[in-house]
Amino acid sequence: MRKLLIEEKQANRKIEKVIRDSFPNMPVSAMYKAFRKRDVKVNGTRVKEDYTVSPGDMVEIYITDDILDGVKIKTDTASVHGFNVVYEDTNILIVNKEQGIPVHPDSIQTEGTLIDNVRAYLEYKGEYQKETAFAPSLCHRIDRNTGGLVIIAKNPKALEIMLEKIKTREIKKYYQCLISGKMEKDWAELKAYLEKDEFKSRVFIKDAPAKNAVEVITRYKVLSYQNNISRLEIELVTGRTHQIRAHLAHIGHPIIGDGKYGSNQLNRSLGAKIQALWAYKLEFDLKNAGMLSYLNGMKFEVEPEFKVKGNG
């Protein structure tokens, strides 16, 4: 908890402005979360973000010091909480998401998600205000515990085009993963059928068509093999929930660190507490992309950050 004594020069300003000026390195999303939780007081009384301060007011902010004094956002490296910026222009933002952070609110985490932090980052830069008609939006999703590249649209037209190009597979998405065992072939295209069980929050892979099951296609290429661990490049032809994890587990090669579809015994032996899966490359092969045509031919790639002994 921190206290601020309002001085004459700060008088007649909204409290949110005073706090942001006093703690410039704090994520904006953390401040608004504190207001929602009623963790900001003035003279002992809880207030909202539009409260106007007066000289002599004592402000109490119940946010931990590490968040208040958090890593400063730098527009040159764009290193912020939960992601770093790989590419940015006036229409889109491509970020490299850390593992363990959901891209959007879920049943476990409703705040501090990737999209929350991205909007806070753009708000910090002055490119987004909550009062504007369009909020920067995800063009696609990856699992909470999968790291890697995510595209965010900054305006409605960019979102419309991105969604269409992802649907028509003009944006190719590649992953890297570490799996148990050695693949029979160095390259293959796997086809199966995926059935989603919402109640169990998992999916099941079947070799033949089944009711409520959709076809999934997963391409892989072996990049390396050592210590009975293979590093694969995966191209998602179809993009279904948990497709890569479930499909590889189904053929007997679960992803290292995957607690849902993998081997807990193997994961413990390798010290792998989170799945070794990273969305590491995007390729744009766009046709008639309108205002986003300049992206055609671009490729974006990051180095996966696997936390596994031996690292395949």
Q: How far is CA 138 from CA 67, 102, 118, 271, in A?
A: 25, 12, 10, 32
Per-residue model confidence (pLDDT) at position 75: 41
Active-site residues, by number, are 143
Per-residue model confidence (pLDDT) at position 109: 58
Per-residue model confidence (pLDDT) at position 107: 60
Give the separation between CA 29 and CA 137, rounded to whole angstroms.
16
Per-residue model confidence (pLDDT) at position 274: 92
61 near 34, Cβ under 8 Å? yes
245 near 277, Cβ under 8 Å? yes
Per-residue model confidence (pLDDT) at position 225: 95
Per-residue model confidence (pLDDT) at position 70: 65
Which domains are delineated in the chain? 2-68 (3.10.290.10), 79-167 (3.30.2350.10), 174-279 (3.30.2350.10)
Q: Chunked in runs of 10, what are the mean pLDDT values of the chain (312 residues)?
A: 91 91 79 85 93 94 79 43 89 94 73 85 80 87 94 96 95 96 96 91 92 94 94 93 95 95 91 94 96 96 83 56
Q: What is the DSSP string of 32-69?
A: HHHHHTT-EEETTEE--TTPBP-TT-EEEE-S-HHHHT
